[in-house]
Structure 1
């Protein structure tokens, strides 16, 4: 996955983005420009109109932004009557011409609009930002979900694995890339440049990212990896300032301890599975001694679920008010007193608690289980940061990627929502279900 600075510079030059916010307009409104762009057959005019649309959109007020997305949703939707007529025509005569007409009618006009805008150099990143703004409006404007489906459909094609560029992030990587890593880190905040250096420079640390050719200076997703001996149970040990640096040849385990999606506008477009597979392949080739691949992951939904479970079942023999107070105040001593009980509840949450579709409640669990991992172990006091205590009660979980069983585990989860787990984790979950009054 090592890529030279020359390759990065080449991509940056090929896909250098214009300053769209400074494009001079011709007086037309953004919706008028959209109508004209859809109808245009002139490449030059289309380029100018696409630039103007993006430039105007970047300056819309919140109210005008809502009106723009309402225009995309309602005015550029499928023409149902035309679609029905062409469906009938195709039923009567399945000619290639009728088939082409039917396909054209079945696609909302906004998809073609977005494709045409995307022909403008640098537009892909701007459209990702546009969708990020759309996502913020979905709760109050549920009909906009139709437009969001079109964005996600197009992004699924534009950002498929074949277009992604894998790169290892070094301390010698361009400063603007390193700044993005600090900004986008979503699991364990990077405090400063020294903290970042400890994560990417030592021989036993790695950071890998995916880029898109049209966004060469903006990572889509990145993963931080520690090369260690044995399966770790604490992120404090991994991130310690004065830890002893390990010779990679002595490591037997690669730990994915942070995976961060960088672009809010690409929500629902999955890169993580491909990135993990790419990193596993690279590490296997580079460090022959590594035989175990695990994560050290947060349990972001656990605290909220536990709060609700305690409120609904106050008679489980645990001082509910004390537990909740410890979580809210970050009283690490109070959580330590309940470490075994918390591990049991976390195992129950990860293995047994499902949504209405039969999927695990926890989003991180869904991601790794769908990738073919198994729940390997649960550690109390593993993340004592304020965020770790607040969202996961200080617990973290190892998801094990057993390379011989990834396919089997993925199929079992995808087809039957089966959560594969170690015997120890299963025992913890069973104890939570059958001995809920037990405290150790």
Structure 2
């Protein structure tokens, strides 16, 4: 068996050089070539072993200069290929899982460096931060300068083997209270170029973006928030409150889905009260779920101040229920809620018209949410959520949930 093994690893070296080279930019081709190699070039005796043979190749690549970056890019291609069905099969899913677990080990906190971004940071870093902003897109360089300037902080994790390369980015606003809308953070110009520390009592985490899709599922966000909290406590010990201002992706889609199901059942409009439907009918000329569904799908309702006012109470209670009561395997259905609740935050406040951008209106009817981190309670809150699947929520949220239970039926 020694000679075949020797030959096998020789082939691995050849394919490794080919894959690490600059001969192709076709991601699908590279991924398929790699998959064919790992699936077909191994002898039957290797296929029967419990440990996939490509694990050894991955370990070897991870020790090479540029190898870790390549493996992150390879997993990004696997994730993309599986999502698009360009590559499929149990062996592909297994490889994706193996590589994810290995990357989780390589990208543990001991190998990660916390770096702060300022306007004096290298242009390449600023450009990457701008390009990777997935929550609130950066409009131009003036906008970018504002986000790393006075009363703002921007941090990212890099890896010792990939220095200077942002892996995940966290944006922070330094304020005097817990922000209830994103416009005040990303659109308004901070009052002064020089910070007044006496005006800073609160840190708002308003955007966290993964820049490397190959690191999906690798626990980076939680560690980044914890490290940034410590950094801010060291720099600005007067900060009393830590909170997010978070989007609610999926809320509008969920609501439109409910309206669609109700429109199929004639006369069953139980998300809104009779008086609410009557007011909607007076303003739109129709009280059907189908009409409201179309309005919500096209953002048309925001243009009418009266209709927006009528929809305010029911949308707030429906959103509260979506975040608090809608579950997936016992945990919050909304992925952002699930992330912060796992970290031990409190579902603290739901904000009407927190994001009035077309994107915000389309995704969540303009509603945003604060997840507040009470540092002395995060460990117990996290244990309660993960162990008993209980969501810690404020009186405002619980009152909205109660209104939902009294006035709406799914």
**TM-score for both structures, normalised by structure 1:** 0.79
Query: Once structures 1 and 2 are overlaid, which stretch shifts more, 125-134 or 55-64?
Result: 55-64
Q: 1:182 aligns with which of 110, 115, 130?
A: 130
Aligned-pair distance for 1:240?
2.4
Aligned residue for 2:235? 286
Instruction: From the superposition, tell whether residues 364 and 57 of structure 1 become closer, same or farther in structure 2 (CA, over 3 Å).
Output: farther
Q: 1:68 aligns with which of 3, 23, 34?
A: 34
Which whole-Å deviations, capped at 9, do the CAs of 1:202-231 have from their partners, x for residues lacking one?
1x1100110012222320101110111111
Aligned-pair distance for 1:271?
0.6
Query: Once structures 1 and 2 are overlaid, which stretch shifts more, 65-74 or 119-128?
Result: 65-74
Query: Once structures 1 and 2 are overlaid, which stretch shifts more, 326-335 or 245-254?
Result: 326-335
Residue ranges of structure 2 left out of the alignment (5+ in a row): 264-268, 278-286
1:92-131 mapped onto 2 (5 Å cutoff): 105-131=49-75
Q: 2:303 aligns with which of 318, 333, 339?
A: 333
Secondary structure of the structure 2 residue equivalent to 1:167: strand
| Kept in 1: contact 2:158–2:166 (CA 8 A) | yes
Query: Once structures 1 and 2 are overlaid, which stretch shifts more, 286-295 or 322-331?
Result: 322-331
| Kept in 2: contact 1:135–1:265 (CA 8 A) | yes
| Kept in 2: contact 1:343–1:428 (CA 8 A) | yes
| Kept in 2: contact 1:299–1:397 (CA 8 A) | yes
1:297-336 mapped onto 2 (5 Å cutoff): 297-314=246-263, 315-316=269-270, 317=272, 318=277, 319=287, 320-331=289-300, 332-334=302-304, 336=308
2:323 equivalent to 1:350 = yes
Instruction: From the superposition, tell whether residues 383 and 137 of structure 1 become closer, same or farther in structure 2 (CA, over 3 Å).
Output: same
Q: 1:217 aligns with which of 161, 164, 170?
A: 164
How far apart are the structure 2 equivalents of 1:374 and 1:229? 20
Aligned residue for 1:363? 335
How far apart are the structure 2 equivalents of 1:429 and 1:74? 55
How far apart are the structure 2 equivalents of 1:218 and 1:377? 35
How far apart are the structure 2 equivalents of 1:164 and 1:47? 28
Aligned residue for 2:400? 428
**TM-score for both structures, normalised by structure 2:** 0.85
Aligned-pair distance for 1:295?
0.1
Aligned residue for 2:209? 260
Aligned residue for 1:239? 186
CA RMSD of aligned residues (A): 2.5
Aligned-pair distance for 1:247?
1.9
Secondary structure of the structure 2 residue equivalent to 1:399: strand
Secondary structure of the structure 1 residue equivalent to 2:115: strand
Aligned-pair distance for 1:326?
3.4
How far apart are the structure 2 equivalents of 1:289 and 1:343? 33
| Kept in 2: contact 1:235–1:296 (CA 8 A) | yes
How far apart are the structure 1 equivalents of 2:43 and 2:292? 51
Aligned-pair distance for 1:46?
7.8
How far apart are the structure 1 equivalents of 2:180 and 2:44? 53
| Kept in 2: contact 1:38–1:116 (CA 8 A) | no
Q: 2:115 aligns with which of 160, 167, 174?
A: 167
| Kept in 2: contact 1:69–1:134 (CA 8 A) | no
| Kept in 2: contact 1:73–1:146 (CA 8 A) | no
Instruction: From the superposition, tell whether residues 64 and 251 of structure 1 become closer, same or farther in structure 2 (CA, over 3 Å).
Output: closer
How far apart are the structure 2 equivalents of 1:368 and 1:52? 42
2:25 equivalent to 1:52 = no
Aligned residue for 1:385? 357
Residue ranges of structure 1 left out of the alignment (5+ in a row): 1-34, 83-104
